[in-house]
């Protein structure tokens, strides 16, 4: 993975988080997979909408390109061509699926993706959005091509920063893990977790899979950019979740307080107790505190940090 940049810069090391609890899962099965090749009846001469079961809304550009991902044949794209009407604000794509049993409540959606920058100095947003079986939006991951920041929104429509950004023409392996039984979702790029076990719904919407697809949102509908997002190897797998997983704890550097304390942010499950531990040598660890993060972050302070040349921190769930 390259190009994902964490905006939190610590003045000391943050240890890798520990204590992810195991979840008993049934065997995963592939519900849908496409790499957009001719043998799957995809044709580069036509828009993606209407091919291979893909549907869409809006008249902005969609279609197929060749070898944007070197050696991988055809890829799909959204963007580049402006919509037919200046009153349009977005173009979106989705691929509906059937055959998910009531017990298969854990859905994983993966794809390779890349964003190509504009040449006309106009830049837009590219998003991946999950809808439920009633076509209500649950969650969105937003790639802001103006700032190159990656943001997310729950079903309250408030966009928040993930703390990560992206590079143009960088290939990313994007993975959504959606657990309807636990009302949680996590998204990662390679081994880097961008959004960690947030709620799928905060308003009691139906927790059942509808679709997860890309969209192109024009910042200036009358003059959209010619930027576009390419994606490939799109896969949906389903499995049975026998128990809700505990969230993996995360630590982020929060800066120095005015009184000299080192500030950290603890992320995780609002229902789980986590311990934050501190060490000066990575050998001997002591508990700094035990806390529940809440729905977003829990602010942690270390008043002793200024007394040491280096401090190491880690978080773990209490089993």
Spatial contact of 309 and 265, defined as CB atoms under 8 Å apart: no
Q: What is the pLDDT of residue 297?
A: 67
Spatial neighbors of 22 by CB under 8 A, at least 6 apart, are: none
Distance from C-alpha of 140 to C-alpha of 123, rounded to nearest angstrom: 19
Lowest mean pLDDT among 21-25, 100-104, 130-134, 307-311: 21-25
Distance from C-alpha of 317 to C-alpha of 309, rounded to nearest angstrom: 27
Query: Is it the case that residue 118 has pLDDT exceeding 80?
Result: yes
Query: Is it the case that residue 242 has pLDDT exceeding 90?
Result: no
Lowest mean pLDDT among 66-75, 142-151, 296-305: 296-305
Query: Is it the case that residue 211 has pLDDT exceeding 90?
Result: yes
Q: What is the pLDDT of residue 213?
A: 98
Q: What mean pLDDT do residues 234-256 have?
A: 77
Query: Is it the case that residue 17 has pLDDT exceeding 50?
Result: no
> Phi and psi of 26, rounded to 5°?
-80, 175
Query: Is it the case that residue 289 has pLDDT exceeding 50?
Result: yes
Distance from C-alpha of 207 to C-alpha of 260, rounded to nearest angstrom: 45
pLDDT tens digits, one per residue of 148-202? 999 999 999 999 999 999 999 999 999 999 999 999 999 999 889 999 999 999 9
Q: What is the pLDDT of residue 13?
A: 38
Query: Is it the case that residue 78 has pLDDT exceeding 90?
Result: yes
Q: What mean pLDDT do residues 221-235 have?
A: 97
pLDDT tens digits, one per residue of 50-69? 999 999 999 999 999 999 99
Selected residue with higher pLDDT from 125 and 24: 125
269-281 core/surface letters (b: 16 or more CB in 10 A; e: else): beebebbbbbbbe
Q: What is the pLDDT of residue 22?
A: 32
Spatial contact of 116 and 169, defined as CB atoms under 8 Å apart: yes
Q: Chain-wide mean pLDDT for the chain?
A: 86
Q: What mean pLDDT do residues 288-300 have?
A: 74
Q: How confident is the model at residue 296 (pLDDT cuts 50, 70, 90)?
A: low
User: Of 197, 187, 201, which Cα lies nearest the Cα of 248?
Assistant: 197
Q: What mean pLDDT do residues 269-298 have?
A: 78
């Amino acid at each position: 993975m390259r190009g994902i940049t964490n905006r939190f810069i610590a003045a000391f090391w943050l240890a890798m988080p520990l204590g992810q609890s195991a979840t008993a899962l049934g065997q995963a099965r592939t519900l849908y997979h496409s790499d957009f090749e001719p043998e799957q009846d995809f044709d580069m001469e036509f828009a993606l909408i209407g091919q291979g079961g893909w549907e869409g809304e809006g008249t902005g550009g969609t279609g197929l390109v060749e070898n944007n991902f070197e050696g991988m044949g055809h890829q799909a794209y959204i963007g580049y061509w402006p919509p037919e009407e200046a009153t349009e604000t977005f173009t979106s794509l989705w691929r509906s699926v059937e055959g998910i049993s009531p017990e298969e409540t854990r859905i994983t959606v993966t794809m390779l993706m890349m964003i190509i920058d504009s040449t006309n100095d106009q830049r837009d947003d590219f998003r991946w959005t999950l809808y439920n079986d009633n076509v209500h939006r649950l969650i969105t991951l937003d790639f802001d091509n103006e700032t190159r920041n990656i943001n997310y929104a729950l079903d309250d429509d408030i966009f928040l920063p993930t703390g990560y950004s992206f590079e143009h023409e960088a290939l990313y392996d994007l993975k959504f893990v959606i657990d309807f039984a636990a009302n949680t979702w996590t998204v990662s790029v390679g081994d880097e977790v961008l959004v960690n076990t947030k709620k799928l719904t905060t308003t009691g919407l139906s927790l059942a899979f509808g679709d997860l697809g890309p969209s192109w949102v024009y910042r200036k509908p009358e003059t959209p950019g010619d930027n576009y997002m390419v994606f490939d190897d799109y896969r949906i797998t389903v499995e049975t979740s026998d128990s809700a997983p505990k969230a993996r704890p995360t630590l982020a550097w929060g800066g120095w307080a005015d009184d000299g304390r080192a500030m950290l942010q603890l992320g995780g499950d609002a229902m789980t107790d986590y311990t934050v531990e501190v060490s000066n040598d990575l050998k001997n660890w002591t508990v700094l505190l035990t806390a529940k993060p809440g729905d977003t972050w829990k602010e942690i302070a270390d008043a002793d940090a200024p007394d040491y040349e280096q401090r190491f921190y880690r978080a773990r769930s209490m089993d």
